[in-house]
Each structure stands twice: as structure tokens, then as C-alpha cells.
């Protein structure tokens, strides 16, 4: 029986675990991976204390800080169900069952898919959802980035250094990413921006050879060998049955990170807290542990 179980080891989960360790709580951290979306980020320039750091390096700093404490970590383990009965919260994974008096869900989000012909067939054969992870595989090639938000612009900035040409495709009539990223992107002659454009199919043989797009009412084929999908994220909250969520799947929380179930807290991108930023997720993770600690103290 643990005092606390934390699900997820992105910025929110790692920060929650550091705070739990400092409170001398008996807790378990369960995660599929370490770093979450932060590990996929390219250049991070808005995390206080670092004028510039890569997502991978920042994740390494988080992990180093976490491992400075004696934290019980179950890595590469996926949660499939949670349930509260008689005051005890039971967490089921593909490997086991664990009980706790309190729970923090910090499971983050996963990439949204296009849902078009050819996507499943060419996944990992030219289609990728992580420029940081897979960008170097497309050195000197023509590629397309789907999505004009910050994630898409971040991917473009990384690929400018790697690819021969980069197409940025956005379904809306304008890009929604930060102005500073748009300005930097436009300084490169490698980038072609297509707005009011929708990808309708991925083409290829054994690997991607192109994409079919519709720009306004005109159909075109872009000959690319890499497709980077950056059209948003979906909360990893499927296992959180019985907890109130928004239509998007985000878990509803109040200012104390409390969910609709007493003793179950949530933090980071899996929640409905506005603005999905690394620094915000970290702060929410700290708040969630402090709220869980207060809850357990009152229960005693």
C-alpha cells in the first residue's frame, strides 16, 4: 500500500515525484517513458533559468534531478485502468496491480493522427510524429510538415538544418504559431508555406514518395520523402474511467489539481489547464503533490 502513485514521467510527473520525495512520502512512479512531449521538443528558449536548451537536454536534467532521490520507478509500464473502492485507489497496468491512498495522473498527451489513406501503411516508413527523433533520417531530402502551430514551426526550424526543402502545410488560412518562430522560418529560402491546404492522401511504394494535397479547390501532388505530422495532441486519459473530463478527453481539475474523485489529482497536459507549456506542467506537478500531501494529512 503506497501513500501515493504518480502516473507519467513528463515535466509534471517528474516534478510531482521530486516534491513527493522531499515530503518523504511512500510513493511509486509508473510511466511508459521518461520525458514525455518535452523530450520531443527542439530548442527550448522559454524555460526559466535556461536561455537556450534542447528538449532532450532539459529532459536529461529533469531525470538527473529525479534520480538524485530514492524514487521507486516502474519504467516501460502502461496503465490500463484505475478505480477507487472503499477509500483505496487501485491502479492496473499491463504488468501488475498497485494500491494507494492517493493518485496523481500526469500522463500527458499523444500525437493526433491525420486519419487519411496511406497514413497507417507508411507510419515509420516516411511518416513520423517527432522531428527531434526522426529528422536526421531525412538529411538532404524534401519533406513536408503538417500543422502551422508552434509544434509545426518548431519542426520546421529543426528540419531547415537537415532537409533540402521543407513544405509547411496548414489547413487554416493563416499560421497560428508564435510570431518569433514565423519570422525565423521566413528567413530561410528552404521553406515553402501552403495555407488553406489539406492533405488528402499519403503516396508511396515501400516508403513515402509524396502526398496529395488540396489547396483551396486545386489538387496537387508534392514529391516528398518525409512527412512530419504536427496537428495537435490527444490526452492520455483513456484509463481514467469514472473521472469527469471535457469532450476533448482532458481531465477537469480545480486550482488545487483535484479531480471529480476525492484523492485523485491530475497535472500537466492531460488536464484542462490552459496553455500547454513545459514550465506550466512542472508547476502543476508541484501543486498536485502538495495537494495530495494535504489530502493524506487530513485523512490521517
Q: Give me Rg for the CA atoms of the chain.
A: 21
b/e sequence 164-190, b meaning 16+ C-beta within 10 Å: ebbbbbbeeeebebeeebbeebeeeeb
| Buried/exposed 225-256: b ≥16 CB within 10 Å, e otherwise | bbbbbbbebebbbebbeebebeeeebbebeee
Ordered DSSP codes for 233-282? EEES-TT-TTS-B-TTSPBP--TT-B-SSTTEEE-GGGB--SS--HHHHH
Residues designated as active site:
130, 133-134
Would you call 153 helix, strand, or coil by DSSP? helix
Q: How wide is the angle at C-alpha 36 spanned by C-alphas 113 and 116, nearest 5°? A: 5
**For residues 295 and 41, what is the distance between their CA atoms, to the nearest angstrom?**
34
Cα(285)–Cα(254) distance, rounded to whole angstroms? 13
Amino acid at each position: 500500500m503506497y501513500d501515493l502513485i504518480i502516473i507519467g514521467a513528463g515535466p509534471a510527473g517528474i516534478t510531482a515525484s521530486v516534491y513527493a520525495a522531499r515530503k518523504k512520502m511512500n510513493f511509486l512512479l509508473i510511466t511508459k517513458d521518461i520525458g514525455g512531449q518535452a523530450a520531443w521538443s527542439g530548442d527550448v528558449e522559454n524555460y526559466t533559468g535556461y536561455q537556450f536548451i534542447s528538449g532532450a537536454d532539459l529532459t536529461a536534467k529533469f531525470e538527473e534531478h529525479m534520480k538524485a532521490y530514492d524514487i521507486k520507478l516502474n519504467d516501460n509500464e502502461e496503465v490500463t485502468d484505475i478505480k477507487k473502492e472503499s477509500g483505496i485507489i487501485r491502479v492496473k497496468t499491463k504488468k501488475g496491480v498497485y494500491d494507494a491512498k492517493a493518485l496523481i495522473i500526469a500522463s500527458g498527451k499523444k500525437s493526433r493522427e491525420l486519419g487519411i489513406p496511406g497514413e497507417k501503411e507508411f507510419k515509420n516508413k516516411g511518416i513520423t510524429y517527432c522531428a527531434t527523433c526522426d529528422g536526421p533520417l531525412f538529411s538532404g531530402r524534401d519533406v513536408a510538415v503538417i500543422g502551422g502551430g508552434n509544434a509545426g514551426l518548431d519542426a520546421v526550424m529543426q528540419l531547415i538544418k537537415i532537409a533540402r526543402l521543407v513544405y509547411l502545410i496548414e489547413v487554416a488560412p493563416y499560421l497560428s504559431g508564435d510570431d518569433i518562430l514565423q519570422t525565423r522560418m521566413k528567413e530561410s529560402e528552404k521553406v515553402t508555406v501552403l495555407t488553406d491546404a489539406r492533405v488528402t492522401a499519403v503516396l508511396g511504394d515501400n516508403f513515402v514518395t509524396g502526398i496529395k494535397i488540396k489547396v483551396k479547390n486545386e489538387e496537387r501532388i508534392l514529391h516528398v520523402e518525409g512527412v512530419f505530422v504536427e496537428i495537435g495532441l490527444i490526452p492520455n486519459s483513456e484509463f481514467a474511467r469514472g473521472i469527469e473530463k471535457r469532450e476533448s478527453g482532458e481531465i477537469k481539475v480545480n486550482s488545487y489539481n483535484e479531480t471529480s474523485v476525492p484523492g485523485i489529482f491530475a497535472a500537466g497536459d492531460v488536464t484542462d489547464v490552459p496553455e500547454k507549456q513545459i514550465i506550466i506542467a512542472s508547476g502543476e506537478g508541484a501543486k498536485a503533490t502538495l495537494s495530495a500531501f494535504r489530502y493524506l494529512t487530513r485523512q490521517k
